[in-house]
Amino acid sequence: MNDAILALHDCTISFGGLLAVDKANIALKSGELVGLIGPNGAGKTTVFNLITGVYRPSSGEIRLNGRPIHGQKPHRIAAQGVARTFQNIRLFGSLSALDNVRIGAHAHARYSPLSAIIRSGAFRTQDHELRNQAIHLLHVFGLGKFQNETAHNLPYGEQRRLEIARALASNPQVLLLDEPTAGMNPHETRELMELIKSIRDDFGLTILLIEHDMKVVMGICERIYVLDYGEVIAEGLPEEIRKNPEVIKAYLGEA
């Protein structure tokens, strides 16, 4: 896909004798909301780790806006516009909700260490701007009233929202969401589904979503990739995936 904002081409990675991802080809156009599904152990989170530089593919390539990013350090990939959340929440639990989001924006800080130490005018101006941006994000996610609350004291659903808000603070082009509704009740799940769609539109994001809840995947994703044993076995519209015999056999099961 030549117009892809993010593209994996024949990406492969093995761990010892385990072939975790096998010649995966995945491409996302700008502004798409795409699902990545498959059985446990299929390689979905490994794909995220390849994209974000946690792992380097043993073969194949990954391109962002046409430029190769595979093999780069995670912080460099993040600075180029890729952000993610995790299957298991990874907040700074002892810090406030506001400080968690401010940390997400650190890559945009343009003051020097010396400016921070002496608290120069340039430092104070930019620090004020980043703080206001973080507060705005908290309100977007319905977390404004929790801005001074320590993260580990927030209810589970709010912690999930806070992790997405922190990812957005880095001003990404591509957002990778790893099971964002895991552990949520049906009401929280519905609210987060609507929020994901709205932030895609409002922030001009491209989103790749790992999710086991098929109501979520079929409800918000425009296209879906299916992994099984590290191999992409299907790609298409939700209705096409729902009826695909290989997908039914490997993952969805009969109705």
Q: What is the mean pLDDT of residues 85-103?
A: 93
Three-class secondary structure of residue 246 per DSSP: helix
Query: Cα separation of 44 and 211, whole Å?
Result: 10
**Choice among 27-41, 58-72, 101-115, 218-232 with the minimum mean pLDDT:** 101-115
Residue 108 pLDDT class (50, 70, 90 cuts): low
Residue 238 pLDDT class (50, 70, 90 cuts): very high
pLDDT at 132 over 60: yes
**Choice among 13-22, 107-116, 226-235 with the minimum mean pLDDT:** 107-116
Query: Cα separation of 178 and 208, whole Å?
Result: 9
What global pTM score does this model have?
A: 0.90
Number of alpha helices (DSSP H) and beta strands (DSSP E) in the chain: 10, 10
Residue 117 pLDDT class (50, 70, 90 cuts): confident
Three-class secondary structure of residue 127 per DSSP: helix
The predicted structure's pLDDT at residue 253: 66
The predicted structure's pLDDT at residue 119: 74
Count of alpha carbons within 13 angstroms of residue 11, beta-carbon side: 32
**Which domains are seen in the chain, by residue range?**
1-81+172-255 (3.40.50.300), 96-170 (no CATH)
Decide if 173 contacts 143 (C-beta within 8 A): no
Q: What is the mean pLDDT of residues 176-200?
A: 92
